[in-house]
Amino acid sequence: MRARAATLGDLEDVFRGLSKRMSDEYVAAGKDSKIAYDNLMMNLKEGRAHALVEGDKAVAIIAWHENSDAADTLFAAREDFFRAATVRFCKRHIKP
């Protein structure tokens, strides 16, 4: 697994196979998949999105926007993202 700058194709691939648990989380937060896609697209265009890639397939997109002393984050993933190995990779990737 590796991280790299996200592309439009990555975003489309992730949302084409979006995990049901992600869709459920968006609804619980008062949003939907379309709003999440649009917000991630904006961050991607502004260079603030990474694709988490396994082999040649993007399994997740993470984006961020710094606001004064905090960072807002956005996330979308395919079901195959939710495995122990992926979680360990993310812990190393995100750690300051």
Max mean pLDDT range (1-5, 8-12, 28-32, 67-71): 8-12
For the chain, the average pLDDT equals: 88
pTM above 0.85, yes or no: no
Domain total of the chain: 1
Residue 69, helix vs strand vs coil = coil
Query: Domain span at residue 31?
Result: 2-94
Residue 6 has pLDDT above 70, yes or no: yes
Please write the tens of the pLDDT for every residue from 67-78. 888 878 899 999
In Å, how far are 26, 30, 78 from 20, measured between CA atoms?
10, 16, 8
- pLDDT exceeds 90 at position 36: yes
Domain harbouring 12, CATH code: 3.40.630.30
